[in-house]
Chains A and B, each alone.
Chain A
Amino acid sequence: AQSVTQLGSHVSVSEGALVLLRCNYSSSVPPYLFWYVQYPNQGLQLLLKYTTGATLVKGINGFEAEFKKSETSFHLTKPSAHMSDAAEYFCAVTGKLIFGQGTTLQVKP
């Protein structure tokens, strides 16, 4: 079975600061990993994904994530937060997309 754990249900950063959203997974097979963003009252949008190959994955809006098999992690980062990044972020694993609990990112001016 596959599962995802997102550490921190709520993360608050200042505008311009580093964003780090944590995701750990459990999978009995090589995982496919995804990060999605959900803005208020909207559907989900794919930020980035890891399937095979390069472990550092770059996505939209300046986000990137690194797959670390030894740590079973897929943390999402962005060097400099923008006010427009405030949203709910979900990590997901495998083909059926098992989602983590979500992390609300707040960006303070």
Chain B
Amino acid sequence: SAVISQKPSRDICQRGTSLTIQCQVDSQVTMMFWYRQQPGQSLTLIATANQGSEATYESGFVIDKFPISRPNLTFSTLTVSNMSPEDSSIYLCSARRQGGGQGEAFFGQGTRLTVV
């Protein structure tokens, strides 16, 4: 298995500011992903964090709003930029050891973000 640590676990932020969420995996993984889970809803994939190159964003998500870094095989960050109350959500980091989509994906506990 893999243990994923996210920081911060929760935060309350002012609108117009930015928050960077950190995701640390306890071992090297092939793939890392960022999801958003709005209150009472399912998970929506924001982007795939690619090691050493730009992240791959899903429809509806853009790099200017959600810049992502992945400097190595165990760490990634997601920044939520120029926040508005609509960005209030839980943000989850996920990792998978192997490519091809077959392997188990592990999840962090999430970052609960409230924008006021």
Contact = CB atoms under 8 A, between A and B. Distances in A.
Interface secondary structure of B, over-half rule: strand
A46 B109 CA distance: 14
B53 interface: no
B102 A102 contact: no
B102 A43 contact: no
A60 to B, nearest CB: 11
Interface in B35-93: 41-45, 48, 92
Interface stretch (A18-26, A71-79, A92-100): A92-100
A94 B101 contact: yes
Interface in A23-50: 32, 34, 36, 42-46, 49
Counting chain A residues whose Cβ lies within 8 A of the other chain, the interface size class is 20 to 34
A90 B42 contact: yes
Interface string A69-109: 00000000000000000000010001111111110000000
Interface of A: 32, 34, 36, 42-46, 49, 51, 90, 94-102
21 contacts: A32-B101, A34-B105, A42-B109, A43-B92, A43-B107, A43-B110, A44-B92, A44-B107, A49-B104, A51-B102, A90-B42, A94-B101, A95-B100, A95-B102, A96-B33, A96-B101, A97-B43, A97-B94, A99-B43, A100-B42, A101-B42
